[in-house]
Structure 1
């Protein structure tokens, strides 16, 4: 009779005191991990909310300018100290886009120079380009100027 060669080996049992990591080893590993995590958090940049609001407003202005050039219809933006709302010229009057209206956080303020009367402070008319007024956004301690230059049309 033939018997298959047995390849079973006896698994060595750990000796007493060699059953995994000791409490000291686990504590050292956790301390190193916590130190590395705190260094990563300390070097991360804080979010600049004023810059974020500035960039958001700049994107809205750029989108309105593009919309006016593509559609051929004037667009504009109504600016108040506490927020802004895009507007379109329809039926002989300005219509505010309530869906795109933006109210700024409590401490933020907008200012347009030179100030204008009724209607949008900035108008994007594809037939009659107007100069861009200066727009300032502040949070009480800092102020940022919004600079937007209209692309030159070929």
Structure 2
């Protein structure tokens, strides 16, 4: 006895399977429109990144990397500061050398200020513009200093001590 194949239905018999398989073009367009409106609402309501906070995080990261570089290499490293920029430097061949491609300028409206707990007493340091304001000593003799990044009425503060870097929250 030969195996018989199942009977075939013509396209006129039974329900049209193509109409019920998948989504119609209109359904797809409606779904895309809903997703588009929802995503645009999310984008419009999201707060933009606070430039002061972003720059402050970069300053913290640069200070931590510079302090770690001093500790690992066994040679002093530091941060050369001005009101509108900073750059990490390292002690090499008897002079302070800027770390290549690491200088950072602040966007408009941001200002950096710093104070030392015990200001340097040597006039040589005060007279030489190449000496960094913050020096990370690999032997643990780092002088305490406080850095403040201000944007309008908001101020972010970072304290450098021999024990490490301490971050204070933003103040208004």
Q: What's the TM-score once normalised by structure 1's chain length?
A: 0.74
Q: Residue 29 of structure 1: CA displacement?
A: 4.7
Is the aligned partner of 1:137 residue 2:149? yes
Match of 1:83 in 2: 85
Residue aligned with 2:62, SS: helix
Q: Residue 34 of structure 1: CA displacement?
A: 4.7
- 1:24-83 deviation line (CA, Å, top 9, x unaligned): x77865664455334533553431221111111111111111111111100011001111
Match of 2:5 in 1: 5
Change (3 A) 1:111 1:30: same
Q: Distance in 2 between matches of 1:150 and 1:130?
A: 5
Please tell me whether the aligned partners of residues 135 and 143 of structure 2 are also in contact (alpha carbons under 8 angstroms). no
Q: Residue 22 of structure 1: CA displacement?
A: 9.1
More strand by share: 2
Q: CA RMSD in A?
A: 3.0
Residue aligned with 1:99, SS: coil
Deviates more, 1:42-51 or 1:31-40: 31-40
Match of 1:60 in 2: 62
> Runs of 5+ in structure 1 lacking a partner?
15-19
Q: Distance in 1 between matches of 2:50 and 2:154?
A: 11
